A and B are shown apart, each in its own frame.
Chain A
Amino acid sequence: MRLNHAFCAASALALLAGAATAQTTVTIATVNNGDMIRMQGLSDEFTAANPDITLEWVTLEENVLRQRVTQDIASNGGQFDVMTIGTYEVPIWGKQGWLVSLNDLPAEWDADDILPAIRGGLTVDGELYAAPFYGESSMVMYRKDLMEAAGMEMPEAPTWDDIAKAAEAMTDKDNEVYGICLRGKAGWGENMAFLSAMANSFGGKWFDEDWQAQFDSEAWANTLNTYMDLMNNYGPPGASTNGFNENLSLFQQGKCGMWIDATVAASFVTNPNDSTVADQVGFALAPDNGLGKRGNWLWAWSLAVPAGSDATDAAKKFVAWATSKEYTALVAENEGWANVPPGTRTSLYENAEYQKVPFAEMTLNSINSADPTQPTVDPVPYTGVQFVAIPEFAGIATQVGQEFSAALAGQQSVEEALEKAQAITVDEMEAAGY
């Protein structure tokens, strides 16, 4: 009974408080990744400090989120005040004037602390259009025990030759150990993310400076042939349907000698609760070919405020809070340093506590070695390391990815796949008016 009274009193007080200060509701669309779910749990801290702001969450699976927010912003729907978007969307939407500039976030938010590579990916013509929540690159994760058994050592910055040799030495198909696991599943965010980044290290690119498709170049042929050799000789069966999750599970089961993928995977493969090889994982930079570019990508899940929002100030306040140093400290206090959102701030990597995390240094080095404004050996007219920041890209790259995936499955040759990729890209770019 007493509890009931207390509850009534509290509700009455809350009502009074609500009447006294006009409530602003901020609707946040976000992706159902662990870090975002954690942010929701901790957001009471924000609402306690800002009693006049109510947060409303729309949490969706990545593909669905992308479709929902794209539709909302393209039709000026105004459903959301904060959107979780990636480095692919930010430059396109920023250029269209669909996002609110975040250059005026308070000084203590400390924009200069954001890693330059990540900041570059979220900036259009000097305006920062999204605040990074967590950032990632890709790197080599490998089994130290298998390398030792083969009498080899993984260099910190391997070449593709090193990778091929290591893969050969570690492969033991009879015992279901495959030297290398790479993405093969078709999709612009699956195999094409990996292959576009890999092509960069071979001197390949999507378009030349006149927006002409480049799949007929020697660099792409070399990229794809190297990839096929690696996968056909040392890869797991059915690699053409393996994406991030499938490879993660294979690696955790101890079936991959190496895996080149997102840096965020490092915390999953070193977690003893999920991974049978947790204490045997080593890290190295993504491979190169001595051409000055490595085969690693750059991505940041970021928070942006759409231009159609009717609660811009409150939304900015929330974005600043969720991407601040204080938020990082809050997560560290509650869940430990290994769980803070990685890859966005210099100060995090200078923190002595965080430096003890085994993959911290390699993650930072990988992020810093990618440059979205100059992703390839030769100059290109686009930004983006493992993607091209134009609206047509997702559609084109998924179709191209299907051709490459079919080649990996043995249904067509590398030459055929490249020919089709070239035809698809030329056709779609013409239709888009390039």
Chain B
Amino acid sequence: MATQQSRSAARLMMAPAVILLLGWMLVPLIMTLYFSFKRYLPLRGGDLGWVGFENYVRFVTSSAFWPSVQATLIIVGGVLLITIILGVLLAILLDQPMWGQGIVRILVIAPFFVMPTVSALVWKNMFMDPVNGLFAHLWQFFGLTPVEWLSQASLTSIIMIVSWQWLPFATLILLTAIQSLDSEQLEAAEMDGAPVISRFGYIILPHLSRAITIVVLIQTIFLLSVFAEIFVTTQGSFGTRTLTYLIYQRVLESQNIGLGSAGGIYAVILANILAIFLMRIVGKNLDA
């Protein structure tokens, strides 16, 4: 039983950690906010004074803004869809007793340990290259013209690369959820004559809803800032410029800190809107 004193002592002792963490988050955020109201061009003499909301207006009215938001949402949505559908299937598959299960599971998780830059390079050069790539050879084998993946199906390619990386994460979480499912319930349903699809739809899927929620929430947070895969493969060309990439271009390529900071604030707002939206729609699953 915590006394008044021990509670205050605990607060006192935790204070440094809390302050440090707050500072960790707040300092960059406040700096970004501060710079977003300034005309700050390092290559033109640095701080050129306050400009009010000019950077915000310029960022949103730029012809690149809405396409970048759209590209961001398509990538997030596409990856979520693929990883969850394939993740559920893979999890069910991996749950079946089989020979060499341990090794198979490790192999399935392996892509998660590959650095994003490395995996993007491998995909770009080994699979998607229209002359030397594996896919090109496969297409040619069937007498088809190879697809120029990164230019003709640029968003699809990025979604494929990112999904490949995040599929193990989804599979892992969903597999643990499936393993916690009471097998007697499934057996009972089977004995009652429920077909496979019904058993999946009425027992497995509802059981997985919490795990799916977790996957959606965590992946969305990370996918909103997908960068390395785009940097390595298309450098933002062919409609793959996401909001993060646009901010990078404004800050580092155009050396316009003010404009980029305004973009950063927009990204924070977008992430929060999405988070609230997700919490409302799917987050209620977590209460159960």
Contact = CB atoms under 8 A, between A and B. Distances in A.
A391 B41 contact: yes
Contact of B58 (A187, A396, A431): A431
Contact of A428 (B146, B151, B254): B254
A237 B135 CA distance: 13
A408 B256 CA distance: 29
Nearest to B149: A238
Q: Which of B44, B46, B124, B233 has the largest number of chain A CB atoms within 10 A? A: B44
A399 B249 contact: yes
Contacts of B151: 238, 240-241, 405-406, 408-411
A373 B41 CA distance: 26
A394 B254 contact: yes
Contacts of A409: 148, 151-152, 238
Contacts of A402: 235-238, 241
Interface of A: 67, 70-71, 74-75, 92, 96, 176, 185-188, 236-238, 240-241, 250, 255, 391-392, 394-396, 398-399, 401-402, 405-406, 408-411, 420, 423-424, 427-428, 431-432
Contacts of A236: 130-131
Contacts of A428: 254
Contacts of A186: 234-237
Contact of B131 (A237, A399, A408): A237
A250 B129 CA distance: 11
A338 B45 CA distance: 43
Given A75-B42, A432-B44, A237 B237 contact: no
Nearest to A431: B58
Contact of B253 (A176, A185, A395): A395
Contacts of B241: 402
B252 A255 contact: no
B237 A391 contact: no
A187 to B, nearest CB: 6
A190 B224 CA distance: 28
Contacts of A176: 131
Contacts of B254: 392, 394-396, 428
A411 B255 contact: no
Contacts of B249: 395, 398-399
Contacts of A67: 252
A238 B130 contact: yes
B150 interface: yes
Contacts, number: 102
B180 interface: no
A421 to B, nearest CB: 12
A397 to B, nearest CB: 9
Interface string B241-274: 1000000011011111000000000000000000
Interface string B221-245: 0000000000001111111010000
B237 A240 contact: yes
Interface string B12-33: 0000000000000000000000
A394 B46 CA distance: 18
A391 B131 contact: no
B183 interface: no
A401 B45 CA distance: 27
Contacts of A391: 41, 43-44, 255
A2 B252 CA distance: 55
Interface range for B: 35 or more
A391 B252 CA distance: 11
Contacts of A424: 63
Contacts of A410: 151-152
Interface in B85-131: 124, 129-131
B185 interface: no
Given A187-B235, A394-B254, 6 more contacts: A186-B237, A241-B124, A391-B41, A398-B235, A399-B64, A410-B152
A102 B36 CA distance: 38
B131 A185 contact: no
Interface in B149-198: 149-152
B6 interface: no
A74 B46 contact: yes
B236 A92 contact: no
Q: Which of A74, A406, A408, A427 has the largest number of chain B CB atoms within 10 A? A: A74
Nearest to A420: B63
Contact of B238 (A187, A188, A406): A406
Contacts of B136: 237
B255 A395 contact: yes
Q: Can you list the 8 inter-chain pairs with the closest CB atoms, starting with the nearest?
A: A395-B254, A238-B130, A74-B42, A391-B43, A409-B151, A237-B130, A238-B148, A186-B237
29 contacts: A70-B42, A71-B42, A75-B42, A96-B43, A186-B234, A186-B237, A187-B235, A188-B253, A237-B136, A238-B129, A238-B148, A240-B151, A240-B238, A241-B233, A255-B131, A391-B41, A391-B255, A395-B249, A395-B255, A396-B254, A401-B237, A406-B238, A406-B239, A408-B151, A409-B148, A409-B151, A409-B238, A410-B151, A427-B62
Nearest to B234: A241
Nearest to B152: A409
B284 to A, nearest CB: 42
A207 to B, nearest CB: 17
Contacts of B236: 186, 402
B52 to A, nearest CB: 15
B238 A405 contact: yes
Contacts of A255: 131
A411 B238 contact: yes
A185 B233 CA distance: 10
B60 to A, nearest CB: 13
